[in-house]
Structure 1
Amino acid sequence: MKKKLSLYEATAIGLGNIIGAGIFVMAGSTIYLAGPAALISFIITGLLAMSIGLNSAELASKYPESEGGVYSFAKLTMGDTLGFLVGWMRMISYSVSGAATALGFASYLQIQSYTLIIAGLLILVLGGLYLAGLKLVSEVESVLVGLNVLGLVLFIVFALISGRFNTLHFTPIAPHGLYGIFTASSLAFFAYSGFNTIATLTPDVENGEKTVPKAIVLSLAITSVLYIMVVFSMLYLLPWQIYGQQANPLSFALQKAKAPFLLILAVSATAIIATLTVTMSTIIATVRTLKQMAEDNLIPSKLGRKESIATLLVISMMVSSLGLGNVEVIGLVSNFGTIFSYLTTALAVVISRRRGIMGSFKAPLYPFLQILSILLSLLVIGTLGEESLVLGVVSLLVGLIIHVIHVEINVVEKGKRLNPHGRIQNE
């Protein structure tokens, strides 16, 4: 019997997926979009992430045997069609976000001519590591996440000691208005989205229905504090106008501030580790979602029959996503699927409570927390940008068509089994 994960290991995997995608890769782009109000953007996104996290924590305690995270929650409460669409969008957003963090890894190595090749090789190597075993991955990430947190703390301490408060760094507070704040919030959400990985681990966590909710809340609380402090430190260190669409914003900030070489090296190394852990955690969540969908017969069952087949398919999707472009475009495209799927967690909580399904954890402030979650999700989706919205809607329509075709094929095959003479009976 395989040993199950502890609270620390489950939290480490969640932190491994959260820390890295946002701060080490996206922080500069959020300041570029919102100016000093990026701080407000991260606070708004932190509230949204925590509301969704509390919903997911309640649902994980109610459905502890499901491996699909938000996909499973949607299917179990709202049916196959919406469940498929959530799973479909999760797989797309996971694949795209995995590509983004792999690109961040390659960018921090500063070997520009080979960025795509390095990112692709990273995805292949980490896919192989996952096949070596989930327990091994959790032990590796437990160590690496500690280094990630240490790197962020070093950056914060250096910025606060060597910088000095300058009003020009923080004015005008919102140069691009409310639209800039909420657009940056949309991008910043990319930084928080990894907590769903913890929900997919529930069957493999010791006392999962109680431990997983704790791990979700703990990982979000730690990252929210770190994120806001890092963004403040970036603004404290340099004027907001300097930041742009760099894929390595923390190293960029330290270089501009003429920080000691060893510190730049340490933070860059930490960033590389962070992008490794988040890419690894993304692969875990994608494979487990795909497997659960296959077990539920919402996609061909052979795709989830073997771990190697599911992992190979996920790796292929992530490598293909590298062609989308820079990290900001990738992040916004990924976020449509992420926020769409997370929006359903509030509805799932309401439906499950109305059905009298109770777990060991209850999200507080019901139903106000769920209403807040839905409103903030819709607000963030509305500011993702035309490109992201168009691609998102097209992805939903394509997913719906695939689902309808798959259902019809299942009906035909079932009819043939019931009537071996080839006359398909009406059902």
Structure 2
Amino acid sequence: MEEKKLSLSQALALGLGNIIGAGIFVMAGVSITAAGPAALLAFLITAVYAMSVGLNNAELASVFPKVEGGVYSFALLSLGETIGFLVGWFRVIGYAISGGATALGFSGYLITTFSLPSFLYFLLAILLIIVLIIIDYLGLKLAAEIESILVVLNILGLVIFSITALVISGIRLQNFSPFLPHGITGVLTASNIAFFAYSGFNTIATLTPSVKEGERTVPKAIVLSLLISAFLYMLVTFSMVDAIGYKNFKTNSAPLQLVLSTIHAPFYVYFFVNLTAILATITVTLSTIIATERTMVQMELDNLLPKVKGGKLSILLIIGLVMIASLGLGNVEVIALVSNFGIVFSYMLSGIEVAVVRHRGLRGVFKSPGFPFVQIISVILSGVFIYSLGFQSLLIGFVTLLIGLVIHSIHKEIMKKEGIFSRKK
């Protein structure tokens, strides 16, 4: 029986579930530490960047409405097999590792909130991955319905946090001076941190074939998800700085809890916001699993990955095993650098891809406004973001790229001997 198509609200929920997730509950404090009150500017710059890439992906989703691989498929269809594989290679690695890290975030919040024994740290993360793998296997419709409920709670939690902080603290303009304590370098660092709290909108692009009138609905969902998340991120960041000042966050991994405890917020608010942080890690992990699965399925259909016996179940088992294995890495920061490089690399190409498909005369229902300026902005800002990632990230990203090229070359030769070629349509 054919799976029912998703509505605009459900596609939007899945996208917001991957954007408004653990990132804002953890990364807002780190961004404020890096840039001071100018973290507001960092989130604004990042919102502009994310919107330029989002408009690119919205147009590409409209031009190629029948593919499930998102940015991977767009790269394959517009820039060719090798670039397409590299984008898919980076995305699958990034999705799987970040999903494992988010699962650990879930267990950490759960143990802290309910004072559970610390030895459950890894067990709870493994349990979450298994449960969400099962949910994805049971159907995208079920996943979307669960995600819709959780996303509403996440948004409600962030709004309640911001209102509580502003009402109790009042407007403290002195906390916003000096505005640029760490200069432009701090803003660039904070922008990089903030970007990865936005980047989940690509999940929506992978859903196009499963959405009602996907070529029309998906572009709307992408743009709406970025507008909603940008507003919430700015609101949360403003209320955090306003409440306790930028110097107090340092490397605290639960900055919203820090704010609420410092201003002596009511316990029920403190508990509810903490609960939404737990829910956020669930929504991100679920969205990550969905995006990983659909990218791998599309790469398999395109003959850029070996065929996996057992179909969707086997692919989900592989994803689950990789995520669980990543839990044992101890420090996922180095691996995350690879993910970060790959994400920006794939998004940098999106502006070029739009130019290529327009040159070919391909048109969808949605066309990005401001062509070619929006596309040029997305490419330039991508270059700035990659540069500001730092030498270590660039080195690891380059090595990962080389490994991907070797794997692709070997697989390509095997496919040639068997008379199988990649599918580009």
**TM exceeding 0.5:** yes
Determine if the alignment matches structure 1 residue 7 to structure 2 residue 8.
yes
Amino acid in structure 1 at the alignment position of 2:372: P
The match for 2:340 is: 335
Deviation at 1:247, TM superposition (A): 3.1
The match for 2:357 is: 352
Q: Structure 1 residues 178, 323: CA separation in 2 closer, same or farther (over 3 Å shift)?
A: farther
SS in 1 for 2:22: coil
Q: Structure 1 residues 137, 373: CA separation in 2 closer, same or farther (over 3 Å shift)?
A: same
Distance 1:128 1:183 in 2: 38
SS in 2 for 1:301: coil
The match for 2:78 is: 77
Distance 2:254 2:186 in 1: 21
The match for 1:366 is: 371
Deviation at 1:170, TM superposition (A): 2.2
Determine if the alignment matches structure 1 residue 132 to structure 2 residue 145.
no
Q: Structure 1 residues 152, 329: CA separation in 2 closer, same or farther (over 3 Å shift)?
A: farther
Distance 2:271 2:347 in 1: 36
Deviation at 1:414, TM superposition (A): 2.9
Determine if the alignment matches structure 1 residue 290 to structure 2 residue 311.
no
The match for 1:321 is: 326
Distance 2:371 2:377 in 1: 10
Q: Could you tell me whether the CA contact under 8 Å between 1:52 and 1:346 is conserved in 2?
A: yes
Deviation at 1:105, TM superposition (A): 1.4
Superimposed CA distance per residue, residues 338-374 of structure 1 (whole angstroms, 9 cap, x where no aligned partner): 1111111111100000000000000010000000000
Deviation at 1:165, TM superposition (A): 3.4
User: How large is the Cα RMSD of the aligned pairs?
Assistant: 1.7
Distance 1:226 1:407 in 2: 45
Distance 2:170 2:204 in 1: 39
Superimposed CA distance per residue, residues 261-306 of structure 1 (whole angstroms, 9 cap, x where no aligned partner): 1101000111111110111001000010011001101110226x61
Amino acid in structure 2 at the alignment position of 1:345: S
Q: Could you tell me whether the CA contact under 8 Å between 1:13 and 1:142 is conserved in 2?
A: yes
SS in 1 for 2:68: coil
The match for 1:245 is: 251
Alignment of 1:257-296 (within 5 A): 257-296=263-302
Amino acid in structure 2 at the alignment position of 1:188: A
Distance 1:333 1:245 in 2: 22
The match for 2:214 is: 208
Determine if the alignment matches structure 1 residue 378 to structure 2 residue 383.
yes
Amino acid in structure 2 at the alignment position of 1:94: Y
Alignment of 1:60-139 (within 5 A): 60-109=61-110, 110=112, 111=116, 112-139=118-145
Amino acid in structure 2 at the alignment position of 1:71: Y
Q: Could you tell me whether the CA contact under 8 Å between 1:107 and 1:248 is conserved in 2?
A: no
Determine if the alignment matches structure 1 residue 28 to structure 2 residue 29.
yes
Q: Could you tell me whether the CA contact under 8 Å between 2:338 and 2:400 is conserved in 1?
A: no
Deviation at 1:135, TM superposition (A): 0.4
Deviation at 1:331, TM superposition (A): 5.0
Q: Could you tell me whether the CA contact under 8 Å between 1:29 and 1:328 is conserved in 2?
A: no
Distance 1:288 1:357 in 2: 24
Distance 2:34 2:104 in 1: 20
**1:187 alignment partner, one of 184, 190, 193:** 193
Amino acid in structure 2 at the alignment position of 1:169: N
Q: Could you tell me whether the CA contact under 8 Å between 1:17 and 1:194 is conserved in 2?
A: yes
The match for 1:425 is: none
Distance 1:200 1:353 in 2: 21
Amino acid in structure 1 at the alignment position of 2:327: L
When the two structures are superposed, what TM-score results if normalisation uses the length of structure 1? 0.93
Amino acid in structure 1 at the alignment position of 2:352: L
Distance 2:346 2:283 in 1: 23
Determine if the alignment matches structure 1 residue 413 to structure 2 residue 414.
no
Superimposed CA distance per residue, residues 144-182 of structure 1 (whole angstroms, 9 cap, x where no aligned partner): 111111101100100110113335522332232222211
The match for 1:301 is: 307
Distance 2:336 2:255 in 1: 15
Distance 1:23 1:217 in 2: 19
The match for 1:151 is: 157
Distance 2:344 2:189 in 1: 13
Distance 2:231 2:329 in 1: 31
Q: Could you tell me whether the CA contact under 8 Å between 1:100 and 1:330 is conserved in 2?
A: no
Q: Could you tell me whether the CA contact under 8 Å between 1:200 and 1:288 is conserved in 2?
A: yes
The match for 2:40 is: 39
Q: Structure 1 residues 331, 27: CA separation in 2 closer, same or farther (over 3 Å shift)?
A: farther
Distance 1:117 1:213 in 2: 39
Deviates more, 1:311-320 or 1:322-331: 322-331
